[in-house]
Structure 1
Amino acid sequence: MNIARKSILEKGRGRTRKLAKLEYLYEKESLYFVQAAESVKDLVLEELKNLNGQDLKPVFRGVWFKASKADFYRIVYGSRLVSRVLAPLATFPCRDKDDLYKAAKKIHWEEFLTLKTTFSINANVSESSITHSNFAGLRVKDAIADYFRDRTNKRPSVDAHDPYIMINLHIHRDVATLSIDASGGPLHKRGYREETVAAPMQETVAAAIVRLSGWDGSLPLYDPMCGSGTLLCEALMSYCRVPAQVFRTGFGFERLPDFDPDLWERVKAEAREAILALPENLLMGSDISEHSVHAARTNLMGLHHGGRVEIQVKDFQEIPAIENSLILTNPPYGIRMGKGQDMNLFYQKFGMFLRERCRGSQAYVYFGEPRFIKKMPLAPSWKRPLKIGGLDGKLVKYELY
């Protein structure tokens, strides 16, 4: 439910007066912010350009950009690499708790909330006089509660798990920015993962690996240790142009006072019309675990054309050959390997498999534990750190002549 923007009335001292309409920062300047991991920021910049983002300004842990309202909706709906998109309401000096409280209380919160809806606050503080993120978040919560209490003698409730609206506070070097989370939750949660395995790869990590591989469908793609199929799912969505958030049922930008539902429906319709079919035998995978293969098949079946991805129960050592293809995989490590496994031997065998049975192919292997790169009996073409999704791994490319 969107709270339509109307004239705002304030009661006080026995009379009613009309409040001046506020125009928020994202409205005045068409300015937005994406949160993104530092190790993929170059990919995020490229993606934002492709989605018509303008005036891109990378900063620590994200990128400021400008966009029309339609392109803003498209970016939230289609970005595969960012973790959240924020619509900034106001930026202001914030030297102490009083500055924060006063500025937060100036927002016309009834444009975003009612007494029956809930909110949450995510706060982050760095290099500032206010040093505790939780304390900063509490001051904003107090300002919102007092804003409503002054007008109605009641206040909306906080719900950290499933709020109606998410408010973001960022303070850096005594400058604060209050924003609405336009995503409505972390964007790596695509919604296709119905079945899972131990330590599954986060979707944004898989999307970054697909992007770095440069796969465009000109070669078959094979994942010989597919787990629950996240790499295959992200490769399918990328090739078929399936919007990353096609399964999300609600977005934070629907809570903004200037939300345009007709425009949003047109953006979704255009995206659906652009979806491509997946050719047979273009995406394939296998795994030694029957449970993993079942999970991968289940997850893929929920996607457009996911039934065309062939997946088998098979140890990679039983695969006769993968030639003239692109191999994309995230070998098991740590908890996924279980106890009693000889990790050094495992990677030696996998390297031999690539060298002897995958001629004419390229392999992109993600190492969640980079120390095992040295155990592969292959010389890498390049290595790329990927610190994203709580992992600190490396993607390694092997040319298999």
Structure 2
Amino acid sequence: MNQNKIILKVENLSKQYRLGLVGTGTLGDDLKRWWYRVRGKEDPFLKVGGNNDRTLEANEDYVWALRDIDFEVKTGEVVGIIGKNGAGKSTLLKILSRITLPTTGEVKTRGKIASLLEVGTGFHSELTGLENIYLNGAILGMTKAEIKAKEEEIVEFSGCKLYIDTPVKRYSSGMRVRLAFAVAAFLEPDILVIDEVLAVGDAEFQRKAIGKMQDISNQEGRTVLFVSHNMASVKTLCTRAIVLEHGRIVFSGGTDEAVSYYLKGSAEVDNIKQFDEEDYNTPNFRLKGISVANTGKKIIDPILEDEEIQIVTEIDLKSNSPERYHITYHLINELGDALFSFSSRKGGIDLNKGPNELCCTIPASFLQSGQYFLSFYLIVDQRKAEFMEKDIISFTIVDAERTIGAYMGREPGYIKPRFNWTRQ
């Protein structure tokens, strides 16, 4: 199959909903739509409607769940669709799966689409697991002979062999997902559309499912659209990703860049934080600022991974207590995982009363390119944290060997230590 062939094309796609009501709205709205259509005019309600921002109070009767979506997918691609809850991801997948129709725009596809959007989608609860395999296969356009040829593989992969002749209504949500995914994956659709449902399965099944999706793409040349809030799965599986925000595409590109863009959100990533007098100001201390930069470089310069990195902390200690104070940082990666902690105490430095400016130096080529977050802790006598602030500052490291600011792929992991090698 031609890997460069476009299998899915979305053009000017938008979806509008009326808030607070089921259906298109009032009888008056429907009559107005009909009258405009009879006269050959555009739907009058396409000119109204608020943005898809769930944090705001509605001030209009209509809202655009999706607006002006355009993208193409080639055969064999695994495309991640990421964004916050309410960004429009599930609405987009429902339109692609023909569960609902778009308000404007069109979707062009080649071949069969299989969708796994909710737990047990397309299952009849009174039918057995085996009967549902045949029902789902028929919905996907498969013949009985084709389903029969895959039956044993589907049952084996699902891990539900013991219960395959039991009505699905007695299955747990995890078992339903296992069986539904197995049906969708093994009945060979040209495009497999998967929403967050894999999160219901256990860790073993998630590994199997991701491995199967990789096989579907790499070995069988089929296409996968994958929605997940698990950024590790998106990075492992997807060849590129699309970020949705308030119903619009705000980023489309490589998976690493897309994940970084999504996780950054609206947070500042300017490598420096200067705090006002009322911020982080207590009777015992005042935190004045934190900055991150390469040694000898300006704060505004990109932070390169192959040069030393300095983290400078400005803090005034007010306490007259004989207790000793020191600062500790936790370094967090862009997936929210804590990589390690480091403290001034281990460097042999406690805070003095009055102004302190402490500099911690990270060796060159120790951290990989990517986005990082620092959590700040003020520790008293190594026994308690008097103050803590998570993700107090974030910074981005880029690979000097590639174009500044562009992520062209990287080695696995987040640190890249240099070990000593000798010839024995």
TM-score of the superposed pair, with normalisation by structure 1: 0.27
Between the two structures, name the one with larger relative contact order (CA 8 Å, sep ≥ 6).
1
Instruction: Give the structure with the higher percent helix.
Output: 1
Larger Rg computed on CA atoms: 2
